[in-house]
Structure 1
Amino acid sequence: MPNPAAALDLLLLPTWLVPVEPAGVVLKEHGLGIRDGRIAFIGPRSEALKLKASEVRELPGMLLSPGLINAHGHAAMTLFRGLADDLPLMTWLEQHIWPAEAKWVDEAFVRDGTDLAIAEQIKGGITCFSDMYFFPKVASERVHNSGIRAQIAIPILDFPIPGASDADEAIRQGVELFSDLKHHPRIKITFGPHAPYTVGDENLEKIRVIAEELDAAIHMHVHETAFEVQQSIEQRGERPLARLGRLGLLGPRFQAVHMTQISDDDLALLVESNTSVIHCPESNLKLASGFCPVERLWQAGVNVAVGTDGAASNNDLDLLGETRTAALLAKAVAGSATALDAHRALRMATLNGARALGLEAEVGSLEVGKAADLVAFDLSGLAQQPIYDPVSQLIYATGRDCVKHLWVAGKQLLDDRRLTRFDEQQLCATATAWGRRISGHAE
């Protein structure tokens, strides 16, 4: 635990401080102190000003909260943003995205696309994200260099993918990367079987055994569409979630992404196994995949986090906007205006995300001893006035352009909207060059 007598590295003095835990609390005129990358002090401004600090930052009109956690995405797919819009999921995948990936995805694509995604996410208040894409070692290197926090899910399918000739090679690469990075302070490696319809029982069994041996998580698209569920019933005689339960994959380390189709039996399985659900409302809306019953899951005790999915199907990595959509959609799906209120929505985008990724002891809330992963939102603009509840204004009236500052493990990655470790102009130029190549307009 931090030594209270030692000087702080940084003291932040926002107008509002929202710790997320305890739930529903807004602290006004409080300070937060950082030492050695961790939260060392939270208390009234009057007490904070008595402490020694190497640097003091006044944050007037700002709300300081835990950094947002994007619990599902495909980072490098930023370079496919807008490539094949307004199409059904399987048409989008089989006729457009998979062929494009086979042609274009290599280590350079993943390097440049991941950098673009990380920079976009930092500017949007995201301090931690989950990535599930090809060449995960390259993605890990970009995360390491950028200063952000991430879960890297090793993509595994029954057929060849960029960077792995088969599932066995992908699993071997995953085990090796897990071993190499198991002590990394900001990177967590997990296993990412793509979906029940692209990974058979034999490979799922291999993944289950290895994940248990390594105490690693499993991240998987599940019940994304009604078609996926119906196809499984016709071909296998059981729903995909039931199959995963029978194979022993479900549990507190399993992350079920999408879950737009949930029966009473599915819900019971999720509750019994303590499986987390990761909700991606805007991707589901855009692909007409269905609606995850968030309020029903929440009331049953299921941990629900939120993710953007990839920029090819969203088309942005705006988790604040995603959370607003999630809150509004939850009300419509539940038929109740009280469903997923603003404070719970923020919790879903922070602490629930941390819990889903197995990081709740480290991040997701502002508590002494946790890593200083923080974001400061500027609520001083016209669109946020007047302010009765700053969390409501954050969720319902604020865009990601109000993200002012961001820290990961006490290191500032965004300072007054300026990226501290990226050249934004160069990122745009690189992405534009990729767009010209992919569209066939390269000069």
Structure 2
Amino acid sequence: MMPNHSDQIILVNGLILADPDSCLVVPHGKTVIKGNMLSEVNSQLEAPPFSSEVIDCSNCLIMPGLVNAHTHAAMSLLRGLADDLPLDKWLNDCIFPSEAKHVGPEFVFLGTSLSAVEMALGGITTFADGYFFMEKAADAAAEVGLRAVIAQGILDVPSPDCPDPAKWNKRIEEFFARFPESPLTRPALFCHSPYLCGPETFRIAKKLAADHGTLLFAHISETRCEVEEIASRFGKTPLEHVHDLGILDRNFVNVHCVHLSDHEKDILADSGAGVVHCPESNMKLASGACPTRDLLKRGTSVAIGTDGPASNNNLDIFEEMRSAALMAKLVTSDPEALDARSVLRMATIQGAQVLGLDHSIGSLKAGKLADLIVIDLDRPHLTPVFDPVSHLVYCARGSDVRDVIVNGRIVVRDGSIITIDYSELASQVRSFAAKIAADLGIRTELK
């Protein structure tokens, strides 16, 4: 395996898109990484120091790493198991029963490792994950070399790592106590939804998150069915419900937010809470479309997420950017509804803002952490280049990513993962998948 770390790395000869807020593209500048930090961006060094590793980025674009602000990474082991169903049937008839039988520490480590490799190859340098046995997810993310916010799942029904839901508090304290130390990962909490977590569960989870200085995530207003169920229980919408519980603030992350009234959009803006838009999962499950234009106009930070690889079914943020832009134009009948620059910000600096990481990632500035990607522009679908930002949103694919650097460490070089042995991982994944297939009486095509 090739070395993937140098005390100083200099990227030369490429276009540089350093600041997603301005989307200014600078030609032929140099980007200098010392240790895990960016020391110079857009500089004009005459000659690199002898000890530096120099990466030639001719015909390439250097940009901040992408942020996947919501996924369930371990569910890559359930990818393709159930498709073309509404969310309630997909969960209750297919996913929850399979999880009850198969989800454990090994499942989570293998599935998260597989997803982390997929995300790294597609230019994602940071992801937010919510599932079970999340200490193992943290191990997997750190081993592959990605930055991650690792959120332990909470339910008021039996779950794989908490069969007795009355003991979920104990499970959360165990999670925090066992969380592995790494500069790449930080813990968080994830209440699945208002229909699977009661008011007291939300209140206690928010207090625990605050006590530990972490974020609390939840699926909010994903489907009309959810909105109707919460209205029948509490006489209000899911967003109004969490607002009235007193937990909606900038450390609460609302995932989906598909069905919102204008009043709810105002509530979100006033609260400072972030939103994660998952366009392809919402389309695949026919859940609806997040009103991104209205939220952004009100000043709400909106990030982009893939959702899980079992409901998407891939983890390509470039696809999500394109889908987010096209979806907004379609549902508003306005081609100007969500432009390429706004979408790029959602996948970079606004994703970092929603995760509370914008002080250290999301743009390329001296003093920030060295999380960046190199896009190969020498592809037929990216030629010619009149507007690099347009290409990133409307033309590019995850497979166009050539190099990925996270925390100053090269994770992907020339389109290949170099931090772990992918062949060995794939073999372990296929062996585990064979157990799932045997239990369900189906077959897998590859052994």
- Please indicate the TM-score interval, normalised by the length of the shorter structure: over 0.9
In structure 1, the residue matched to 2:376 is: 378
Deviations 1:305-338 (A, max 9, x none): 0000111100001111111111111111232212
Matched, 1:48 2:45: yes
Q: TM-score, normalised by structure 1?
A: 0.94
Matched residue SS, 1:72: strand
In structure 2, the residue matched to 1:70 is: 68
Residues 277 and 302, structure 1, Cα contact 8 Å, conserved in 2? yes
Residues 292 and 302, structure 2, Cα contact 8 Å, conserved in 1? yes
How many angstroms apart in 2 are the aligned matches of 1:16 and 1:409? Answer: 21
Of 122, 125, 142, the residue aligned with 2:123 is: 125
Deviations 1:103-133 (A, max 9, x none): 1111111111111011111011010111111
In structure 2, the residue matched to 1:32 is: 31
Of 331, 338, 341, the residue aligned with 2:339 is: 341
In structure 2, the residue matched to 1:332 is: 330
The residue type paired with residue 343 of structure 2 is A
1:176 to partner: Cα distance: 4.1
Alignment of structure 1 residues 34-433 onto 2, 5 Å? 34-44=33-43, 47-52=44-49, 54-167=52-165, 169-179=167-177, 181=179, 184-433=182-431
The change in CA–CA distance for 1:284 and 1:416 in structure 2 (over 3 A counts) is: same
How many angstroms apart in 2 are the aligned matches of 1:171 and 1:190? Answer: 14
Q: CA RMSD in A?
A: 1.7
How many angstroms apart in 2 are the aligned matches of 1:401 and 1:78? Answer: 18
1:235 to partner: Cα distance: 1.9
1:51 to partner: Cα distance: 4.8
1:396 to partner: Cα distance: 0.9
1:259 to partner: Cα distance: 0.5
How many angstroms apart in 1 are the aligned matches of 2:164 and 2:67? Answer: 31
Deviations 1:273-294 (A, max 9, x none): 0110000000000000111011
Structure 1, unaligned stretches of length 5 or more? 1-6
The change in CA–CA distance for 1:99 and 1:360 in structure 2 (over 3 A counts) is: same
Residues 71 and 305, structure 1, Cα contact 8 Å, conserved in 2? yes
The change in CA–CA distance for 1:334 and 1:8 in structure 2 (over 3 A counts) is: farther
Matched residue SS, 2:58: strand
The residue type paired with residue 169 of structure 2 is I
Deviations 1:364-387 (A, max 9, x none): 111110100011010111111111
In structure 1, the residue matched to 2:17 is: 18
Residues 135 and 178, structure 2, Cα contact 8 Å, conserved in 1? no
Residues 405 and 415, structure 1, Cα contact 8 Å, conserved in 2? yes
The residue type paired with residue 15 of structure 2 is W
Deviations 1:47-92 (A, max 9, x none): 2234536121111111111111100000110010010000010000
1:147 to partner: Cα distance: 1.6
The change in CA–CA distance for 1:184 and 1:238 in structure 2 (over 3 A counts) is: same
Alignment size in residue pairs:
435
1:163 to partner: Cα distance: 1.1
Matched residue SS, 2:71: coil
How many angstroms apart in 2 are the aligned matches of 1:105 and 1:382? Answer: 42
The residue type paired with residue 312 of structure 1 is A
1:265 to partner: Cα distance: 1.5
Deviations 1:355-412 (A, max 9, x none): 1111111111111101000110101111111110111112111111111000100100
The residue type paired with residue 10 of structure 1 is I
Matched residue SS, 1:221: strand
The residue type paired with residue 416 of structure 2 is R
1:203 to partner: Cα distance: 1.1
Residues 284 and 290, structure 1, Cα contact 8 Å, conserved in 2? yes
How many angstroms apart in 2 are the aligned matches of 1:130 and 1:14? Answer: 32
Q: TM-score, normalised by structure 2?
A: 0.94
Return 17-26 or 301-310, whichever deviates more. 17-26
Residues 330 and 339, structure 1, Cα contact 8 Å, conserved in 2? yes
How many angstroms apart in 2 are the aligned matches of 1:183 and 1:438? Answer: 32
1:8 to partner: Cα distance: 6.9
How many angstroms apart in 2 are the aligned matches of 1:16 and 1:380? Answer: 12
The residue type paired with residue 32 of structure 2 is G
Matched residue SS, 1:308: coil
1:167 to partner: Cα distance: 4.2
How many angstroms apart in 2 are the aligned matches of 1:362 and 1:129? Answer: 14
Residues 8 and 40, structure 1, Cα contact 8 Å, conserved in 2? no
Residues 130 and 153, structure 1, Cα contact 8 Å, conserved in 2? yes
How many angstroms apart in 1 are the aligned matches of 2:405 and 2:65? Answer: 8
Return 60-69 or 426-435, whichever deviates more. 426-435
How many angstroms apart in 1 are the aligned matches of 2:167 and 2:135? Answer: 13
The residue type paired with residue 30 of structure 1 is G
Return 335-344 or 282-291, whichever deviates more. 335-344
Residues 154 and 171, structure 1, Cα contact 8 Å, conserved in 2? no
How many angstroms apart in 2 are the aligned matches of 1:13 and 1:251? Answer: 42
1:434 to partner: Cα distance: 2.6
How many angstroms apart in 2 are the aligned matches of 1:200 and 1:341? Answer: 38
How many angstroms apart in 2 are the aligned matches of 1:8 and 1:184? Answer: 19
How many angstroms apart in 1 are the aligned matches of 2:165 and 2:159? Answer: 9
How many angstroms apart in 1 are the aligned matches of 2:314 and 2:410? Answer: 23
The residue type paired with residue 68 of structure 1 is L
How many angstroms apart in 2 are the aligned matches of 1:356 and 1:167? Answer: 29
Return 23-32 or 115-124, whichever deviates more. 23-32
How many angstroms apart in 1 are the aligned matches of 2:172 and 2:415? Answer: 35
How many angstroms apart in 1 are the aligned matches of 2:263 and 2:297? Answer: 16
1:433 to partner: Cα distance: 2.3
Residues 16 and 63, structure 1, Cα contact 8 Å, conserved in 2? yes
Residues 139 and 180, structure 2, Cα contact 8 Å, conserved in 1? no
The change in CA–CA distance for 1:169 and 1:187 in structure 2 (over 3 A counts) is: farther
